[in-house]
Amino acid sequence: MSEDLKTIKELADEFNVSKQAVRKRLTEEFRANHVETVTSNGVKTLVVTYTGYMLLKQHFTTSNATGNDKVTDTSNPTTGDLSVVKILEQQLFVKDKQLENKDSQISQMQNLLDQQQRLALQDKKLLEEYKAENDSLKALKMPSQETEFKHLDNQYKDEVNALKEKLENLQEQIKDQKRIEEQEKQRKWWGLWRK
């Protein structure tokens, strides 16, 4: 067992009282604040914390002292007061330790929170950078609709112009062909006398 935790039997032996007397002092409120259940070797055991131990010690030492009231009161009336002061000092020491522990936990939590906030800010900046980079890549890869329409319009105009040129060439070839045919008609021998 830990030095801070004591079983009911250990408390009864230390205070020279029965286990039943110790159990009577373990009210529901006392159990909620100062009693824990510890399992060792598969057996559950009730143990009292250090602060609970100090409260029980205070109760049993004062009740044992009242049993010997006639002798103690006349000889030294401040002994009970000193034991109460010692108990209170010990409780104060325990509370100070608990406060130190809580302070360290709070500072650790604050450090973790600061770290989490820094990481979140870093993530946000990275996300914004990636988004900006992605947008710029999209702008490079995909022309806007206006430029796409202009490109298609220019492409169609070029195709129309090419077709017009072909058409003009074909019309010119047809004219040339007609001229050649007309010239061939005139050269025939029987056409010489007709004029």
| Amino acid letter for position 59 | H
Closest CA to 50 of 106, 5, 87: 5
Could you tell me the maximum CA-CA distance found in the chain, to the nearest angstrom? 177
Banded model confidence at residue 164, pLDDT cuts 50, 70, 90: very high
Mean pLDDT, residues 20-25: 89
Residue 72, Cβ density class (10 Å: 0-12 exposed, 13-18 middle, ≥19 buried): middle
Residues 55-70 pLDDT 10s: 888 888 877 666 554 4
Banded model confidence at residue 141, pLDDT cuts 50, 70, 90: confident
∠ at Cα 43 (16, 49), nearest 5°?
A: 50
| 74, pLDDT greater than 50 | no
Percentage with pLDDT > 70 across the chain: 79
Alpha-carbon gap, residue 125 to 90, rounded angstroms: 53
pLDDT at residue 53, as a whole number: 87
Percentage with pLDDT > 90 across the chain: 30
| 77, pLDDT greater than 50 | no
Is the CB of residue 60 less than 8 Å from the CB of residue 17? yes
Is the CB of residue 6 less than 8 Å from the CB of residue 19? no
Alpha-carbon gap, residue 29 to 35, rounded angstroms: 10
Terminal alpha carbon distance of the chain: 144
Instruction: Scan for tokens 């230390």, then name that residue.
Output: 14
∠ at Cα 125 (121, 129), nearest 5°?
A: 170
Alpha-carbon gap, residue 52 to 35, rounded angstroms: 7
Residues 96-125 pLDDT 10s: 999 999 999 999 999 999 999 999 999 999
Alpha-carbon gap, residue 179 to 172, rounded angstroms: 11
Q: The whole model's pTM is what?
A: 0.33
| Helix 50-67 and helix 79-141, axial crossing angle in degrees, nearest 10 | 170
Mean pLDDT, residues 65-92: 65
